[in-house]
């Protein structure tokens, strides 16, 4: 049995007095795609954002329990958030490239580290864009504004931007919900090809997407992790009635 | 035939009438504004040009001449209306004030939007707005009684001059530039910040490399806006600049600006004479400059819009 790369223990999270996560304990394994599904407001995005402490930017957030990455609690006071986010990158729901050129978007994280030469950066930018399956679309307009690209291309540039800093874990928060099916398909295939190198956690509203690409699926409802198991198990023979109802479309 | 539906369809409805009424009112309002602006331009331009058409002053001599004494004639028989001292004075105080104000304004704006929490902004916002509302004569008076003696004690001389004018204008435009910079920083979408943090950037890196950069068109607009204000400010500058019609050769000797000469001279000249016309020419230059500032602001705005 491999060791989990991230494991949360009894995570409770409050926005003000409202409890959004009610004790989540969950293990994420290396080189797997884990899908988090559940209706809106069930806490899956909140859990995702707590894995690299993006919730810190919200006001009035209290979090208890622990999130361990290789046995180190990232909520310990000694945690360096910059180092944490180097290891755990994130892609957001809306494609959010900076208003810079494609090249500068992808090079952004690398330039922050200040340890690469210009040639290395050029190479990494190209590799990242290739890995994100968007190189052919943008190779002729690397120095044009990323905002001139289509939504699907922008989202893949955003993924390339994360790949460039080479994190161990990539968190994706409904990355394809704003995209058309063809762009979504490209991103799904790309995620499958990235699995060998990265650990991927994806929040999705698309049942088909979860069943197509993920190894494990966790079903959230009202801040609880109702069921967490192999994707095949969740979709074919769910143990809980709520899971069954949700995936067969009876609510949510 | 008496079909009520047909009748109501053919008649203008109450709402449509009200719409026409509203459109007429707003059209009239805009027509009045356009007419007033056009009239001002025409008036200033026709008066300002008469220096060159009626009094036969060479336009180039007017811009580059360095002696201003419209009442008398020089050795060569030409009127002494060289506006160079005021033009240079105006540009010096404007540019220097903008150079000093810009870093302060950007730093203050970053503090208000990125560093201080909601509480800090709650206190700072009204302070800045209050500063905008202080009448310029008050600034001038403080300049006269604080800044001028201060400059005198450090650099010697009278204390009047471009340096004193710069300080007063710096304080005057700082709130304007700051609050406009705050607006442009606030308009940077939150998801740029999130994306930057998620790529392991520190707060300072995020501010410097993403927020300031994305807000740059807005910040430039704020600076140009401040410069336009500084260029057009009359009273406060006139009180501290010393009002000497000489080409400035030092920051601490008395000088003059277009506006200060105008406020000093307008009441003391007779309509239709050369000295009066020459003042109108200065006003025309001022008007042209504010037009140019306006165009620059629009140009920056458009350029910023294109990258979005």
DSSP of A227-243: EEEEHHHHHHS-SSHHH
Q: Which of B116, B193, B195, B212 to mutate to test the interface with A (most CBs of A within 10 A)?
A: B195
* Cβ-Cβ contacts under 8 Å, A89 against chain B: 198-200
**Torsion angle in degrees (nearest 10) through CA of B97, B100, B101, B105:** 170
* Cβ-Cβ contacts under 8 Å, B197 against chain A: 54, 57, 85
SS3 A29: coil
Domain borders along chain A are 6-247
- B195 close to A (CB below 8 A): yes
DSSP-assigned letter for residue A141: -
Q: What is the full per-residue pLDDT of chain B (308 aa) written as tens digits?
A: 577 788 777 777 888 888 999 999 999 999 999 999 999 999 999 988 888 888 778 888 888 888 888 777 777 777 778 888 888 999 999 999 999 999 999 999 999 888 887 777 888 888 888 888 888 899 999 999 999 999 999 887 788 889 999 999 999 999 999 999 999 999 998 889 889 998 888 889 999 899 999 998 899 989 999 999 899 888 888 888 888 888 888 888 888 888 888 888 877 887 778 888 888 999 999 999 888 988 988 888 777 654 44
Candidates B237, B299, B94; CA nearest to B177 is B94
Buried b (16+ CB within 10 A) or exposed e, B43-66: ebeebbebbbeebebeeebbeebe
Contact B200 A112 (CB under 8 A): yes
A168-177: average pLDDT? 90
Q: How far apart, in whole angstroms, are the C-alpha atoms of residue A179 and residue A158?
A: 13
- A99 close to B (CB below 8 A): yes
- B189 close to A (CB below 8 A): yes
Q: Name the burial class of residue A61, with classes exposed (0-12), middle (13-18) and buried (19+) by CB atoms within 10 angstroms of its CB.
A: middle
CA B9 → CA B3, B13, B17, distances in Å? 10, 8, 14
Candidates A213, A81, A105, A208; CA nearest to A160 is A105
Percent of chain A's residues with pLDDT above 70: 98
Candidates A65, A61, A55, A38; CA nearest to A223 is A38
What count of other Cβ atoms lies within 10 Å of the Cβ of residue A6?
24
**Interface predicted TM-score of the whole assembly (ipTM), two decimals:** 0.87
Q: How far apart, in whole angstroms, are the C-alpha atoms of residue B293 and residue B228?
A: 6
Question: What are A146's two structure tokens?
Answer: 């990323």
A103-121: average pLDDT? 88
Number of H helices and E strands in chain A, helices first, is 10, 10
Candidates B175, B210, B187, B135; CA nearest to A99 is B210
| Ramachandran area for residue B173 (φ above 0: left; ψ -120 to 50: alpha; else beta) | alpha
From chain B residues 202-231, the ones with a CB under 8 A of any chain A CB are 202, 205, 209-210, 213-214
Question: What are A139's two structure tokens?
Answer: 């190779």
Q: Which of B192, B198, B305 to mutate to test the interface with A (most CBs of A within 10 A)?
A: B198
Q: Are A165 and A89 in contact (CB under 8 A)?
A: yes
Q: Which CATH number applies to A6-247: 3.30.70.1290, 3.40.50.300, 3.40.50.720, 3.10.580.10?
A: 3.40.50.300
Contact A89 B199 (CB under 8 A): yes
Candidates B286, B257, B269, B280; CA nearest to B140 is B257
Question: What are A100's two structure tokens?
Answer: 């810079």
**Torsion angle in degrees (nearest 10) through CA of B203, B205, B206, B211:** 120
Contact B195 A147 (CB under 8 A): no
Q: How far apart, in whole angstroms, are the C-alpha atoms of residue B257 and residue B177?
A: 22
């Amino acid at each position: 049995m491999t060791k989990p790369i991230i494991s949360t223990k009894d995570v409770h999270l409050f926005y003000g007095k409202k409890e959004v996560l009610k004790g989540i304990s969950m293990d994420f394994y290396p080189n797997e795609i884990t899908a988090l599904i559940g209706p809106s407001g069930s806490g899956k995005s909140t859990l995702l954002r707590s894995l690299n402490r993006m919730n810190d930017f919200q006001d009035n957030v209290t979090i208890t329990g622990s999130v361990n990455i290789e046995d180190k609690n990232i909520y310990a006071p000694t945690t360096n958030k910059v180092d944490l986010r180097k290891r755990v990158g994130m892609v957001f729901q809306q494609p959010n490239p900076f208003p810079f050129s494609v090249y500068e978007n992808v090079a952004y994280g690398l330039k922050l580290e200040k340890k690469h030469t210009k040639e290395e950066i050029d190479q990494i930018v190209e590799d990242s864009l290739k890995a994100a399956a968007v190189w052919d679309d943008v190779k002729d307009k690397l120095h044009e504004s990323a905002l001139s690209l289509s939504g699907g291309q922008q989202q893949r540039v955003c993924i390339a931007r994360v790949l460039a800093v080479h994190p161990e874990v990539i968190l994706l928060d409904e990355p394809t919900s704003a995209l058309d099916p063809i762009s979504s398909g490209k991103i799904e295939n790309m995620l499958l090809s990235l699995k060998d190198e990265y650990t991927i956690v994806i929040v999705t509203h698309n049942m088909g997407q979860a069943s197509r690409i993920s190894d494990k699926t966790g079903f959230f409802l009202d801040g609880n992790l109702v069921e967490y198991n192999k994707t095949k198990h969740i979709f074919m023979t769910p143990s809980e009635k709520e899971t069954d109802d949700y995936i067969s479309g009876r609510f949510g | 035939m008496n079909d009520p539906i047909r009748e109501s369809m053919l008649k203008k409805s109450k709402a449509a009438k009200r719409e026409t009424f509203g459109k007429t009112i707003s059209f009239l309002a805009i027509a009045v504004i356009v007419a007033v602006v056009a009239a001002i331009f025409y008036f200033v331009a026709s008066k300002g040009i008469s220096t060159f058409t009626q009094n036969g002053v060479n336009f180039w001599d007017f811009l580059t001449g360095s002696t201003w004494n419209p009442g008398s004639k020089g050795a060569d028989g030409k009127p002494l209306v060289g506006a160079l001292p005021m033009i240079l004075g105006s540009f010096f105080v404007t540019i220097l004030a903008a150079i000093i104000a810009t870093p302060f304004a950007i730093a203050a704006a970053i503090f208000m939007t990125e560093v201080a929490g909601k509480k800090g902004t709650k206190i700072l916002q009204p302070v800045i707005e209050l500063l905008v509302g202080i009448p310029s004569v008050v600034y001038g008076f403080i300049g006269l009684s604080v800044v001028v003696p201060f400059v005198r004690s450090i650099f010697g001389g009278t204390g009047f001059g471009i340096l004193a004018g710069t300080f007063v204008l710096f304080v005057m435009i700082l709130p304007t530039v700051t609050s406009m910079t705050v607006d442009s920083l606030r308009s940077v979408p939150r998801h740029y910040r999130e994306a930057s943090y998620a790529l392991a950037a520190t707060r300072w890196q995020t501010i410097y490399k993403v927020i300031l950069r994305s807000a740059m068109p807005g910040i430039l607009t704020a600076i140009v806006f401040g410069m336009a204000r500084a260029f057009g400010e009359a009273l406060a500058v006139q009180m501290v600049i010393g009002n000497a019609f000489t080409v400035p050769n030092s920051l601490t000797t008395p000088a003059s600006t277009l506006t200060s000469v105008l406020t000093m001279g307008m009441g003391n000249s007779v309509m239709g004479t050369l000295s009066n016309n020459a003042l109108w020419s200065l006003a025309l230059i001022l008007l042209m400059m504010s037009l140019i500032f306006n165009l620059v602001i629009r140009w920056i705005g458009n350029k910023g819009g294109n990258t979005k």
